[in-house]
C-alpha cells in the first residue's frame, strides 16, 4: 500500500496549506465579531495529522493482513477496465462508505475514534483532516473487505477511499451556499454542515461520502434549514486544548464505563450500543435526546 505515500504526502501538504489560507481570511473577517476565529482548533487538527503520521510508522493496522487474506480467498478478479465496471465499483464503494460512516456514529467503539473528527466547535477546512489517530486501530477499513472479496484489488479500494476523503475536504465550510439540484445527488457543504451540527434535529444524518443518495434511500437525509442554524461540535462541547484529551478522552470514558459496569454483558453493551447509552435508560443517545426534545416542545405548546 506504500505506493500511495507520495501522492498522499503531496495532497496533505496542499490541504493544510489551503486551510491555513482560509484560517487567515476567517481570522480577518471575524476579528470584530462575538465569535472570532479559534486558531487552537486548527493547531489541534495539525497535531492530529502529525500523530497519524507517527502512528503509520508502526505495523498496527488491521487492514493490510485482513485485506491480504480476503484477496487470497476472493470469488473473482475484477480488472475494472470498462466505464460500467468503474461506475458499479464507485457506487458499491459509496455504499460501503455509507455504512462505515453510519456505524461510526451508532456504535460507541467506532465513535470513540470518529468523535475526534466532530470535536471542533467551528467548521472550517482544517476540520476535514482531524480524523483521529486511533482510526486505523479500530478496523473501520474492514467495511470495504466485501469489495476485495468480490475481486477488486485492495490498492484500488484504498485509493478510492483516499479520493473520497479528498472530495470531502471542500465540504467542511460555512461560506458555500446550497447548490440547487446537486443537493439531491451529491454530498454538498450544506448537507455536511448538517452532519457536523449538534442540534438535536440534525444528529446522525447525512452519512454519504461523495453521494447523498443512500441517505435519501435509508432515511438519514436531513436538509439544512434557515430557521435552525447549525451549532457545530459535539453535543457536550469539547473545550480542552490538550491534543491528548481530544484524541483519547472518549476512549478513557468508554473504559471507565466498562470498568464500572455490573456485568460483562453490560460492559460489552457499552462498546456496541450508540454513544450516550446507559443501562438505567437515562442516557443521551440521539433517540433519548430527540424524545426529550419533543416532550419539551409538547409542554411548551400546551395552553
Which domain covers residue 287, as residue numbers? Answer: 248-301
**Which is nearest to 12 in space by CA: 172, 174, 165, 196?**
165
How far is the C-alpha of 184 from the C-alpha of 216, rounded, in Å?
Answer: 8
Same domain, 294 and 187: no
Q: pLDDT value at position 301?
A: 44
- For residues 205 and 283, state if they share a domain: no
Which of 242, 268, 283 delimits the end of a domain? 242
Do 19 and 127 meet the contact criterion of CB atoms below 8 Å apart? no
pLDDT at residue 99, as a whole number: 98
pLDDT confidence of residue 303: 46
- The residue from 242, 265, 290 where one domain ends is 242
For the purposes of burial, counting CB atoms within 10 Å of the CB of 264, is it exposed (0-12), middle (13-18) or buried (19 or more)?
exposed
How far apart, in whole angstroms, are the C-alpha atoms of residue 131 and residue 299? 40
Cβ proximity of 136 and 61 under 8 Å: yes
* Single residue among 205, 223, 242 that ends a domain in this structure: 242
98 and 38 in a common domain: yes
Its pTM stands at 0.93
- On whether both 210 and 281 belong to a single domain, the answer is no
Q: If phi over 0 gives left and psi between -120 and 50 gives alpha, with beta otherwise, what is residue 281?
A: left
The count of structural domains within the chain is 2
- The reply to whether 284 and 235 lie within a common domain is no
Residue 68 shares a structural domain with residue 182: yes
Decide: helix, strand or coil at residue 293: helix
User: Shortest CA distance to 250 belongs to which of 132, 162, 89?
Assistant: 132
Cα 77 from chain centroid (whole Å): 31
Domain match, 278 and 202 both: no
Report how far residue 153's alpha carbon sits from residue 302's, in angstroms, rounded to the nearest whole number: 60
Query: Same structural domain for residues 171 and 274?
Result: no
Question: What is the spatial distance between Cα 13 and Cα 185, in angstroms, rounded to a whole number?
Answer: 30
pLDDT value, residue 60 = 74
| pLDDT at residue 58, rounded to an integer | 80
Shared domain check, 170 and 25: yes
pLDDT by residue, tens only, the chain of 303 residues? 455 566 777 888 899 999 999 999 999 999 888 889 999 999 999 999 999 989 878 877 778 889 999 999 999 999 898 999 999 999 999 999 999 999 999 999 999 999 999 999 999 999 999 999 998 888 888 899 999 999 999 999 999 999 999 999 999 999 999 999 999 999 999 999 999 999 999 999 999 999 999 999 999 999 999 999 999 999 999 999 999 999 999 999 999 999 999 999 999 999 999 999 999 988 899 999 999 888 875 544 444
Contact at 8 Å (CB) between 207 and 107? no
Q: Coil, strand or helix: which one is 280? A: coil
With contact defined as beta carbons under 8 Å apart, do 1 and 154 qualify?
A: yes
Contacts of 141 (CB under 8 A, 6+ apart): 61, 62, 63, 67, 158, 161
Please state at what angle helix 243-260 crosses helix 39-56, rounded to 10 degrees: 70
The reply to whether 223 and 118 lie within a common domain is: yes
Do 290 and 217 fall within a single domain?
no
Q: Are residues 295 and 194 part of one domain?
A: no
The pLDDT of residue 2: 52
Amino acid at each position: 500500500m506504500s505506493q500511495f505515500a507520495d501522492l498522499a504526502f503531496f495532497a496533505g501538504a496542499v490541504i493544510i496549506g489551503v486551510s491555513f489560507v482560509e484560517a487567515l481570511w476567517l481570522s480577518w473577517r471575524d476579528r470584530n465579531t462575538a465569535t472570532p476565529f479559534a486558531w487552537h482548533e486548527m493547531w489541534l487538527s495539525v497535531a492530529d495529522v502529525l500523530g497519524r503520521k507517527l502512528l503509520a510508522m508502526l505495523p498496527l493496522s488491521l487492514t493490510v493482513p485482513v485485506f491480504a487474506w480476503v484477496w487470497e480467498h476472493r470469488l473473482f478478479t475484477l480488472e475494472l477496465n470498462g466505464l460500467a465496471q468503474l461506475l458499479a465499483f464507485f457506487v458499491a464503494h459509496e455504499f460501503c462508505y455509507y455504512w462505515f460512516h453510519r456505524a461510526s456514529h451508532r456504535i460507541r467503539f467506532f465513535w470513540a475514534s470518529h468523535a475526534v473528527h466532530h470535536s471542533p466547535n467551528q467548521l472550517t477546512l482544517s476540520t476535514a483532516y482531524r480524523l483521529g489517530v486511533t482510526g486505523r486501530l479500530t478496523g473501520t477499513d474492514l467495511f470495504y473487505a466485501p469489495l476485495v472479496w468480490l475481486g477488486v484489488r485492495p490498492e484500488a479500494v484504498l485509493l478510492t477511499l483516499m479520493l473520497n476523503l479528498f472530495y470531502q475536504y471542500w465540504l467542511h465550510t460555512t461560506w458555500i451556499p446550497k447548490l440547487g439540484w446537486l443537493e439531491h445527488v451529491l454530498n454538498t457543504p450544506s448537507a455536511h454542515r448538517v452532519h457536523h451540527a449538534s442540534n438535536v434535529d440534525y444528529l446522525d444524518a447525512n452519512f454519504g461520502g461523495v453521494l447523498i443518495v443512500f441517505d435519501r434511500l435509508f432515511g438519514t437525509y436531513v436538509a439544512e434549514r434557515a430557521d435552525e442554524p447549525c451549532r457545530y461540535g459535539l453535543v457536550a462541547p469539547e473545550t480542552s486544548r490538550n491534543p491528548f484529551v481530544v484524541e483519547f478522552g472518549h476512549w478513557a470514558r468508554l473504559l471507565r464505563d466498562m470498568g464500572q459496569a455490573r456485568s460483562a454483558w453490560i460492559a460489552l453493551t457499552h462498546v456496541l450500543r450508540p454513544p450516550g447509552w446507559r443501562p438505567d435508560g437515562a442516557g443521551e443517545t440521539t433517540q433519548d435526546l430527540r424524545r426529550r426534545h419533543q416532550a419539551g416542545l409538547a409542554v411548551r405548546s400546551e395552553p
